[in-house]
Amino acid sequence: MESFNKMRKKSPVPKILNLIYPPVCGFCGKLNQNFLCPKCRKLLEKEAIFGVDNYIKINESKMKFKEQNYILETLQNKNENLNIINNQNKTENQINNNLNNKKENRKKNTKKNEIAVQEYIAKYFDEHLYIFLYKGIIRRMILDYKFNEEAYLYKTFVNFLLKNKNFFEKLEKYDTIIPVPISNKRLKSRGYNQSLLLAREISRNTSFNLKLQTDCLIKVKDIIEQSKLNKEERAKNIQGVYELFNGKKLYNKKILLVDDIFTTGSTVNECSKVLRKANPKTIGIFTIAKDELE
């Protein structure tokens, strides 16, 4: 936070940006240098949950279905879930052995889990960080941000994020930040990529090195907007839409992939799948909000 304030004072960039985007509260429109007035900050604080969802990496080729199934059962038990997450540094074999020692619980809820496992094993990222649930006033704000040309709202969100020290520290384990790209066609019609604005603002205001990479993940195919489709359609629609470029830049990197909303997760998941080809060390997702229905 301190470094953030220092940077704002030193850098000429905010002054220039002020000419483009007036320094107003993204909520109520009152002039405010922090893009968020104290009154609205209180409102946002009420809404914020600063969520962290963890996902375990599963090597699909090495694992039998039953073992995957068992892992899911384990995941559904919150305590054990935390236990595994705390042991993230263990090798996959160690985790497997650990799980195999508890086979007695294995036969429960098989049918239900089969479906869930299919969804579960398809995750290509390790954790998901989000500030809000996608509902109420937050939902309205994000919809404004996306569709009503209120591009400066990203500053309100990032400013709010940077003031939460605990959550901000969670970003420190990453070294590379990548926005979910939009197509050139969409860029032309909207004028900006909201995820890029977010990612750039986060990158600029971090005291540690969080390098913005925009030339590695490219959208190569224009598709029907995901928001118009259901979960199954989304997963299908998004396939083959992104491509990896300059993969060497991402080797062994700790990537934070940025999007505005996490709904079914199919977009960030497809991006993560593509990014995995570069053999990064880890991939985390950051979104402003997560849809509760997911």
| Contacting residues toward Zn ion, per CB under 5 A | 25, 27-28, 37, 40
Q: Which is nearer to Zn ion, 7 or 43 (CB)?
A: 43
Q: Which is nearer to Zn ion, 34 or 226 (CB)?
A: 34
Q: How far is the CB of 153 from Zn ion (least distance, A)?
A: 12
Cα 263 to chain centroid distance, Å, stands at: 11
Amino acid at 128: H
The DSSP string of 116-168 is HHHHHHT---SEEEEEEES-HHHHHHHHHHHHSS-TTHHHHHHHHHHT-HHHH
Q: Which is nearer to Zn ion, 32 or 264 (CB)?
A: 32
d(CA 196, CA 186): 13
Cβ(259)–Cβ(128) under 8 Å?
no
Burial class (CB in 10 A: 0-12, 13-18, 19+), 156: buried
Q: How far is the CB of 3 from Zn ion (least distance, A)?
A: 25
Q: How far is the CB of 122 from Zn ion (least distance, A)?
A: 40
Q: How far is the CB of 26 from Zn ion (least distance, A)?
A: 8
Q: Which is nearer to Zn ion, 25 or 117 (CB)?
A: 25
Cβ(17)–Cβ(181) under 8 Å?
no
Q: Which is nearer to Zn ion, 34 or 183 (CB)?
A: 34
Q: How far is the CB of 16 from Zn ion (least distance, A)?
A: 23
Across the strands, what pairs with 257?
178, 285
